């Protein structure tokens, strides 16, 4: 990868409206962790767990909150939201090459597809009939777009992404390798002795600025479309069932699974391996903690839900499991004892 350009700390403070404490002429061209950053690197402190690393940090500059400024002996940039300021500065140092503009000779593009000028199509990509790719779209190597797929301005499919018939992406949607958008939902009808497939006739619509992680799956609707509103952020290996509707700015960590026809509000957070049953509704701003299973609708916005169990040493846990399994019997016995006083209940 190409080396990044250098920026002075004064330039960074000016560009991102931060307060600099230290040497404005000092120059940086990369990022680093507090533990490992050298004089060329920008570090940041966002997680308080790492505050004890401030004193010995050798970074060229550290992005900190006002409150941490006093504990920071060297150059630092004070930000109201250090992590956000870091994100913006780090983007200056991202030199990863993009898929080069133009159509690779090995790509297969159906003659009925419409590609804006300057679109980048990587090696071995397949663009099917009636697809429409708008300006600035980049389709990486090995991607497969079935038929009638629409990609809004600036969409980027990194590599080996599958988009099914009729899938629509808004602007600037970013999709990581192996993701499958618009495969059939899981619809089967029991016919006495065997299953029959229920045709999945809808598709998938994804709003502007969404990001979909590697090997995640978003199924096409059975009837009507599966919908992600704008700025939905989905990590790797997630599953969104047919006809789900995910509200804007909702984020889901790895292995999150949402069963079919469930409606998730805006600004929700799902931690890793969280999930929701089908045909329910979850209000705006709901947080679901890791390994938690939401079984019923949640109507109160902004609430936090949980059912995950943290690990214990195996022996302790097995005892707990034993108590749990016998709980009904144990409580019955305890209740059956004649209380010493009669005031219960």
Site string for a second copy, 285-324 (x = CB under 8 A): --xxxxxxxxxx------xxxxxxxxxxxx--xxxxx-xx
Of 6, 116, 279, 299, the one binding a second copy (CB under 8 A) is 279
Asked if 17 interacts with a second copy (CB under 8 A), we say: no
Among 189, 246, 270, 283, binds a second copy (CB under 8 A): 189
Stretch of 9-17, 67-75, 112-120, 174-182 contacting a second copy, by CB under 8 A: 174-182
Say if CB 231 and CB 171 are below 8 A apart. Answer: no
Is 91 one of the binding residues for a second copy (CB under 8 A)? yes
Does 207 bind a second copy (CB under 8 A)? Our answer is no
Q: How many residues make contact with a second copy (CB under 8 A)?
A: 138
CB 137 within 8 A of CB 151: yes
Q: Which residues contact 124 (CB under 8 A, 6 or more apart)?
A: 104, 106, 107, 141, 142
- Long-range contacts, 284-293 (Cβ 8 Å, 24+): 284/247, 290/253
The string of DSSP letters for 184-216 reads PP--EEE-SSSEEEPP----EEE-TT-EE-TT-
Q: Rounded to the nearest whole angstrom, what is the least distance from the CB of residue 267 to a second copy in the complex?
A: 9
Span interacting with a second copy, options 12-20, 27-35, 69-77, 113-121, rule CB under 8 A: 27-35
111 near a second copy, judged by CB under 8 A: no
Residue number with CB closer to a second copy (25 or 252)? 252
Cα separations (Å) of 276 from 92, 99, 225?
38, 37, 19
The count of C-alpha atoms lying within 13 angstroms of the C-alpha of 237, restricted to the half-sphere facing its C-beta, is 6
Report, as residue numbers or ranges, the catalytic residues. Answer: 242
Contact 266, 260 (CB under 8 A): no
241, 247, 265, 285: which one binds a second copy (CB under 8 A): 241
Question: Shortest gap between Cβ of 134 and a second copy (angstroms)?
Answer: 20
Q: Does 160 bind a second copy (CB under 8 A)?
A: yes
Confirm or reject binding of residue 281 to a second copy (CB under 8 A): no
Give the Cα separation of 339 and 121 in Å (integer).
78
At closest approach, how far in Å is the CB of 18 from a second copy?
14
Sole binder of a second copy in the list 27, 147, 154, 281 (CB under 8 A): 147
Question: Does 132 engage in binding with a second copy (CB under 8 A)?
Answer: no
Q: What DSSP letter does each residue of 16-60 carry, written as one string?
A: TT-EEES-TT-EE-EE--TTT--TTEEEE--SGGGGGGTTT---S
- Nearest CB to a second copy, comparing residues 117 and 334: 334
Determine, following the binding rule CB under 8 A, whether residue 108 of this chain makes contact with a second copy: yes
Question: Going residue by residue from 47 to 86, which x/- string records binding to a second copy, judged by CB under 8 A?
Answer: x-x-------------------------------x-xx-x
CB-based contacts of 59: which residues, under 8 Å, 6+ apart?
32, 34, 37, 38, 39, 41, 42, 43, 74, 75
Answer for which of 116, 135, 197, 302 binds a second copy (CB under 8 A) is: 197
Q: Can you tell me which residue has the tokens 């479309």?
A: 225
The stretch near a second copy (CB under 8 A) out of 10-18, 67-75, 113-121, 245-253 is: 245-253
Verify binding: residue 190, a second copy, rule CB under 8 A: yes
Q: Does 264 bind a second copy (CB under 8 A)?
A: no
The residues, ordered by sequence, that sit 6+ positions from 109 with a Cβ below 8 Å of its Cβ are 103, 115, 121, 126, 127
Dihedral of CA 70/76/80/83: which sign? negative
184 touches a second copy by CB under 8 A:
yes
């Amino acid at each position: 990868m190409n080396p990044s350009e250098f920026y002075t700390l004064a330039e960074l403070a000016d560009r991102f409206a931060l307060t600099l404490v230290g040497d404005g002429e000092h120059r940086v061209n990369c990022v680093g962790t507090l533990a490992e950053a050298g004089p060329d690197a920008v570090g940041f402190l966002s997680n308080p767990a790492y505050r004890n690393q401030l004193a010995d940090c050798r970074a060229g500059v550290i992005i900190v909150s006002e409150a941490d400024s006093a504990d920071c002996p060297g150059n630092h940039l004070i930000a109201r939201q250090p992590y956000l300021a870091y994100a913006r500065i780090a983007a200056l140092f991202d030199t990863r090459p993009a898929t080069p503009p133009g159509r690779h000779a090995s790509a297969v593009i159906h003659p009925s597809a419409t590609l804006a000028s300057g679109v980048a199509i990587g090696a071995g990509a397949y663009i099917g009939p009636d697809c429409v790719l708008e300006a600035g779209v980049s389709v990486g190597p090995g991607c497969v777009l079935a038929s009638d797929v629409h990609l809004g301005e600036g969409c980027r499919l990194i590599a080996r992404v599958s988009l099914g018939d009729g899938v629509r992406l808004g602007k600037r949607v970013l999709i990581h390798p192996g993701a499958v958008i618009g495969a059939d939902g899981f619809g089967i009808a029991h016919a006495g002795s065997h299953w029959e497939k229920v045709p999945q006739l809808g598709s998938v619509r994804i709003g502007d600025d969404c990001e979909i992680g590697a090997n995640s799956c978003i199924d096409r609707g059975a009837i009507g479309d599966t919908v992600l509103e704008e700025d939905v952020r989905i990590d790797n290996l997630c599953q969104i069932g047919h006809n789900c509707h995910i509200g804007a700015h909702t984020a889901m960590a790895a292995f999150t699974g949402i069963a079919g026809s469930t409606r998730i509000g805006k600004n929700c957070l799902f931690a890793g391996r969280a999930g929701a049953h089908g045909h329910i509704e979850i209000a705006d701003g709901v947080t679901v903690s890791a390994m938690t299973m939401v079984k019923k609708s949640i109507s109160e916005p902004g609430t936090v839900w949980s059912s995950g169990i943290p690990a214990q040493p195996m022996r302790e846990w097995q005892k707990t499991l034993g108590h749990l399994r016998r709980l009904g019997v144990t409580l019955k016995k305890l209740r059956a004892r004649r209380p010493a006083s009669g005031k219960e209940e």
